[in-house]
């Protein structure tokens, strides 16, 4: 039977309950508070360099000079790709955080609860940026070792190799200038007037109801601008044809599948709402249409439903 040396035992007889709880939290590395920001510091780049190099050399030792040597390059490529995919995921997480900040900013009513929620969202966004930047550093280190071990440069099969930490001030100033210039060129060309968002499924082909609904809205807003997703068929195609026939200006928001993949339609919905429509017309469709309707309702934008389960 194991016995404990009395010299190693800790006497808690005089310790308070708070001290005991604090000791336990410290022992098991439990950090109090709801924020991720209470986590430890970021890894040091020099240490990361050594560990990533050691990890990649494990594959060289394991597969090199063996019947599996032909698979070595692909395995090393995937080591770098682990960091690349994580960066893409964090970028999407940052986009979600940005949308949350916009919503919380719009909901500010002077109360402490709303203020704290916004502060937490801002802090979370800052942490996501730090995490993304660190993974970009990891990817850059891994790329260098990949090139050293394979004598070829690493290239992603999806996305780009943009590293925001290596952008110079001149490049940032140049990008800001070009963005401002492009906005100044495009803004006057954007159609003016109250914007009406429209959504519906690919299988919805009720031409009569769609035209009637749009005509009713146009009678109240003669200078309306139609916003839709530009689907090649179904309700949105019918709405686009209606706009052409009625001489109504259109703004088309197509999903960016390359950047957002499966989340592209939902990110597109966010962009449509960022255009500040005064109302959303919803015809029967998939969960994507329902997502737009739900987000519009939460943002305080009127939603008009037609067809199934609607007027």
Average pLDDT, the chain: 81
User: What is the CATH number for 238?
Assistant: 3.40.50.450
User: Residue written as tokens 């500010």?
Assistant: 108
Domain boundary among 169, 204, 237: 169
In a domain, 59, yes or no: yes
Long-range contacts, 78-83 (Cβ 8 Å, 24+): 79/52, 79/55, 79/142, 79/146, 80/139, 80/142, 80/143, 80/146, 80/154, 81/156, 81/157, 83/135, 83/136, 83/138, 83/139, 83/142
Domain boundary among 169, 204, 226: 169
In a domain, 201, yes or no: yes
CA–CA gap between residue 164 and residue 161 (Å, rounded)? 10
CA–CA gap between residue 103 and residue 279 (Å, rounded)? 17
154 in the same domain as 201 = no
Q: How confident is the model at residue 201 (pLDDT cuts 50, 70, 90)?
A: very high
Q: Is the pTM of this model over 0.85?
A: no
Render pLDDT for 92-132 as a digit per residue (tens, 0 to 9). 888 888 888 888 888 887 788 888 888 888 888 888 888 98
DSSP 165: G
For 31, what's the count of Cα atoms within 13 Å in the CB-facing half-sphere? 8
Asked whether residue 189 carries a pLDDT value surpassing 60, the answer given is no
How many other C-beta atoms lie within 10 A of the C-beta of residue 243?
Answer: 19
Render pLDDT for 137-186 as a digit per residue (tens, 0 to 9). 899 999 999 999 988 889 888 656 665 555 555 555 655 665 565 555 55
Q: What is the tally of structural domains in the chain? A: 2
Could you tell me which of 146, 17, 132 has the C-alpha nearest to residue 84?
A: 132
133 in the same domain as 229 = no
Q: Which residues pair with 282 in a beta bridge?
A: 199, 305
Domain holding 237, by residue range, is 187-305
């Amino acid at each position: 039977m194991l016995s404990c040396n009395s010299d190693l035992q800790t006497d808690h007889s005089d310790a308070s309950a708070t001290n005991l709880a604090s000791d336990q939290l410290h022992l098991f590395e439990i950090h109090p508070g709801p924020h991720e920001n209470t986590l430890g510091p970021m890894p040091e780049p020099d240490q990361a360099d050594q560990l990533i190099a050691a990890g990649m050399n494990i594959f060289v030792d394991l597969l090199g000079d063996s019947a599996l040597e032909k698979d070595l390059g692909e395995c090393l490529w995937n080591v770098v790709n682990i960091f690349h995919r994580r960066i893409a995921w964090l970028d999407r997480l940052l986009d979600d955080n940005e949308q949350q900040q916009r919503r919380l900013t719009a909901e500010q009513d002077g109360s402490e609860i709303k203020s704290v929620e916004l502060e937490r969202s801002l802090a979370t966004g800052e942490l996501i940026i730090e995490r993304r930047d660190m993974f970009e550093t990891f990817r850059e280190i891994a790329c260098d070792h990949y090139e050293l071990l394979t004598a070829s440069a690493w290239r992603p099969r999806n996305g780009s190799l943009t590293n925001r930490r290596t952008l110079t001030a001149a490049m940032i100033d140049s990008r800001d200038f070009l963005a401002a210039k492009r906005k100044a060129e495009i803004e006057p060309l954007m159609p003016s007037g109250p914007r009406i968002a429209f959504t519906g499924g690919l299988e919805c082909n009720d031409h009569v109801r769609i035209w009637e609904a749009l005509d009713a809205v146009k009678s109240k807003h003669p200078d309306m601008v139609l916003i839709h997703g530009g689907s090649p068929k179904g309700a949105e195609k019918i709405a686009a044809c209606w706009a052409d026939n009625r001489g109504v200006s259109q703004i088309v928001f197509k999903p960016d599948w390359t950047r957002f993949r499966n989340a592209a339609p939902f990110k597109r919905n966010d962009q449509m709402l960022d255009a500040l429509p005064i109302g959303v017309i919803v015809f029967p469709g998939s969960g994507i249409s329902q997502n737009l309707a739900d987000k519009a309702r939460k943002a305080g934008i009127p939603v008009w439903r037609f067809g199934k389960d609607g007027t």
